Amino acid sequence: MKRVYSIRTHGNPTLALRSLFASWLEQKVVQALLVPVRQAPSAVVMQTLVSDPEELDYADPLAPVAFSNAAALLSSITHHSAGARLGAVVRSCDIRAFVERIKLHQGSRDNLLLVGFDCLGRFENQEYLKLCNKYDDLTTEFYRAATPGIDGIEITRACRACVFPVAPHADINICLFGTNLWEEIRLEAATAAGVSALEALSLPLVGESPERGAVIESMVSERKAYRDALLSEYRARAGSVPGFVRLTAACVNCYNCRVACPVCHCRECVFCTDLFLHDGSRLLGRAKRHGALRMPTDTLLYHLTRMVHVGALCVGCGQCSSACPNGVDVVGMFLSAGAATQGRFDYVPGRSLEEKQPMTVFCEDELADVTG
Amino acid sequence: MSASDFEPTIVGFLCNWCPFTAVDLAGSLTRAKSPNFRLIRVVCSGTVDPKFVLQSFLEGADGVFIGGCWPGDCHYIHGNLKARRRVALLTEVLGQVGIEKERLWLRWIAASESARFVEMVEEMTRQLRVLGPCALARRPRGISP
Ligand code: SF4
Ligand code: SF4
């Protein structure tokens, strides 16, 4: 099924992609396209549902920033069908989280053209904005750099630890690795829907770039090594009760990490219900029982509960840490809890649409060691 | 505190059907009334929410014991098998903060197994005495849940 097409970039990959997307809209391949667009006059780039090709003038699909994971957005445009064919240009972590939401019946793959791109990573939001003050075209600057970083500022730790730079389950992959971006971009159609979207534009059919596989392989092995080092450093620092207390000491229970998390999926979070709305007498009772009561309360319970609830579904996008006002290493916590819980059930979030989430199934004969 | 004068607290969630019957049976309740064991009767081991277990540890438990019916005997068909998945998950998460897996037990107990239940509580108490107090229950001063 795989077919690889080529588009010329004439020194500007962003422009080439804008005109590709414009053709899709003009030819009604899709009625609208969810794509990262610069919110001019601001430098902020947000996913935007574009229906008019003229509105693509500020589209910046390869901008090295993601102010939110797109899985929740994909959920909202597909959960109740829009009644029309839509498209979306998203990263690997967006699609992997979306796959988990589809399994939770919070989104649908139907009537959706999923376009992924080879991901080099993203900057933290504030660092991105700072760099934008200095560079007019940060996206081009980013892809020109030999390693993913500019002026000593590196991509997020989550991105450096991510071993899935290529989006799974996409109809079309925008292949950036192993080609000279300033000359051409190759588009790999992986499904029938992808083939028909590209056939519609009568693009030249070429083969896969012979170097792409090797580039991906070396990138993944580098990132694996980074991830392993991150995990052992995290566990040495936070893998005990005192370490965990230190890790979460600055947490103010704002729950930004939960809101930013694409796989934190409950419609109503128990921590926002009356169950955790304690009155003065109860707080006094707890203070007396322990001798002192840290406030806000229930911080450790919150993080432990979230690890239980979504650790096995964590795609490692790092949005939790990016959203924390107080610099809590939430992504370290979840990369570590994710590795442990996913390993236990041999589960990889986003790997397959068919595979059931670990807590939604059970077998008669399993986990014999649990009951001693 | 030395291992010898430490007495662990175990919070026990027992399913109302087989395990609780086992404890209740023939006055074994008196025998089973270990000073270490705080019993909470639940409708099924499958109803033990992970938050109950976490909160027990945060509020002072050194160990948590969940008693369910043997596979095939669950009053709600598969509640016990769901509990088993959940306990496997919880064990991993507790491990993240250094809580040993020996502090969380899930055991199948038939209505007739009151003697076996008593032995289990004694064995768990022995193991917890060796492990010592749970750090999550006895956090550094001033750090409450
Ligand atoms: S826990 Fe953090 S890294 Fe994991 S999916 Fe949620 S936001 Fe992303
Ligand atoms: S975002 Fe940070 S401060 Fe807010 S709840 Fe999460 S860890 Fe705590």
Helices A330-344 and A299-310 pack at an angle, to 10 degrees, of 40
Strands lying side by side in the sheet with A45-50? A45-50, A32-38, A86-90, A112-117, A172-175, A184-189, A3-8, A205-206
- Looking at the structure of chain B, the number of domains it has is 1
Could you tell me if A212 and A267 lie in one domain?
no
Q: Is residue A78 part of a domain?
A: yes
Hey, how many other C-beta atoms are within 10 angstroms of the C-beta on B113? 22
Residue A315 CA to residue A357 CA, distance in Å, equals 13
How distant is the Cα of B34 from the closest Cα of chain A, in angstroms? 21
The answer to whether residue A102 sits within a structural domain is: yes
User: What's B71's domain CATH number?
Assistant: 3.40.50
For residue A356, the CA-to-ligand 2 centroid distance in Å is 29
Residues in B closer than 8 angstroms to A240, CB to CB, are 97-98, 135
Please list, in sequence order, all residues whose beta carbon lies within 8 angstroms of the beta carbon of residue B24, skipping any fewer than 6 positions away.
none
Q: Does A222 reside within a domain?
A: no
Instruction: Assess if residue B109 is contained within a domain.
Output: yes
Structure tokens given for B137: 């229950």
Q: Kindly give the distance from the C-alpha atom of residue A258 to the centroid of ligand 2, in angstroms, as a whole number.
A: 8
Residue of chain A nearest B96, judged by CA positions = A239
* Same-domain status, A62 and A168: yes
Ligand nearest to the CA of A336: 1
Question: Taking residues A59-64, what's their average pLDDT?
Answer: 98
pLDDT along chain B (145 residues), means of 10: 76 92 72 82 96 96 96 91 97 98 96 91 96 82 56
Q: Which domain holds residue A9?
A: 3-217
Q: What is the pLDDT of residues A184-226, one digit of tens each?
A: 999 999 999 999 999 999 999 999 999 999 999 999 999 999 9
Number of domains in chain A: 2
Nearest CA to ligand 1 atom 7: A261
Whether A249 and A213 share a structural domain: no
Of A299, A308, A366, the CB nearest to B93: A308
Is residue B21 in a domain? yes
| Dist CA A21 CA A132 (whole Å) | 24
Q: What is the pTM of this model?
A: 0.95
Residues A297, A251 share a domain: yes
Of A191, A217, A243, which closes a domain? A217
List of long-range contacts for A359-367, beta carbons under 8 Å, 24+ apart: A359/A312, A359/B85, A359/B86, A359/B89, A360/A103, A361/B85, A362/B78, A362/B81, A362/B82, A362/B84, A362/B85, A363/B81, A364/B71, A364/B81, A366/B84, A367/B84, A367/B85, A367/B88
Interface predicted TM-score (ipTM) of this complex, two decimals: 0.94
Same domain for A163 and A110, yes or no, is: yes
In the reported structure, the alpha carbon of residue A216 is separated from the centroid of ligand 1 by a whole-number distance in angstroms of 23
- Is there a single domain that holds both residue A104 and residue A9? yes
Residue B140 lies in a domain: no
Greatest alpha-carbon pair distance for chain B in Å reads 46
Residues paired with B104 in a beta bridge: B64
Which residue range is the domain that position B127 belongs to? 11-134
Model pLDDT for residues A141-200, shown as the tens digit of each residue: 999 998 889 999 999 999 999 999 999 999 999 999 999 999 999 999 999 999 999 999
Looking at residue B141, its pLDDT comes to 56
Asked if A147 and A269 sit in the same domain, the reply is: no
Q: Counting beta carbons within 10 angstroms of the beta carbon of residue A141, is it exposed (0 to 12), middle (13 to 18) or buried (19 or more)? A: middle
- Is B69 part of a structural domain of the chain? yes
For residue A38, pLDDT over 60 is answered with yes
Q: Which residue of B has its CA nearest to A333?
A: B96
Name the residue with tokens 């097409």: A5
CB contact under 8 A, A362 and B143: no
Residue B145 lies in a domain: no
pLDDT of A367 over the 80 cut: yes
For residue B95 the two structure tokens come to: 């491990």
A158 and A12 co-located in one domain: yes
Residue A318 contacts residue A97 (beta carbons within 8 Å): no
Residues A64 and A156 in one domain: yes
Same-domain check for residues A179 and A74: yes
Tell how far the Cα of A223 is from the centroid of ligand 2, in angstroms.
Answer: 26
Map residue A273 onto helix, strand or coil.
coil
Ligand with smallest separation from the Cα of A254: 2
Q: What is the atom index within ligand 1 of the atom nearest the CA of A97? A: 5
Ligand 1: nearest atom to the Cα of A313: 5
Distance CA A359, CA A367 (A): 13
Q: Verify whether the Cβ–Cβ distance B142 to A341 is below 8 Å.
A: no
Are residues A122 and A93 in contact, defined by beta-carbon separation less than 8 angstroms? no
Please report the DSSP string for A274-314 in residue order. GGG---HHHHHHHHHHHS---SS--HHHHHHHHHHHHGGG-
Any domain includes A195: yes
Out of B50, B136, B145, the one facing A308 most closely (by C-beta) is B50
Residues A208 and A4 sit within 8 Å (Cβ to Cβ): yes
- Look at residue A344 and give its three-state secondary structure: helix
Query: Could you tell me if residue B48 is inside a domain?
Result: yes
Report CA dihedral (B122, B127, B131, B135) to the nearest 10 degrees.
-50
Q: Cβ–Cβ of B97/A359 closer than 8 Å? A: no
Is A353 in CB contact (< 8 Å) with chain B? no
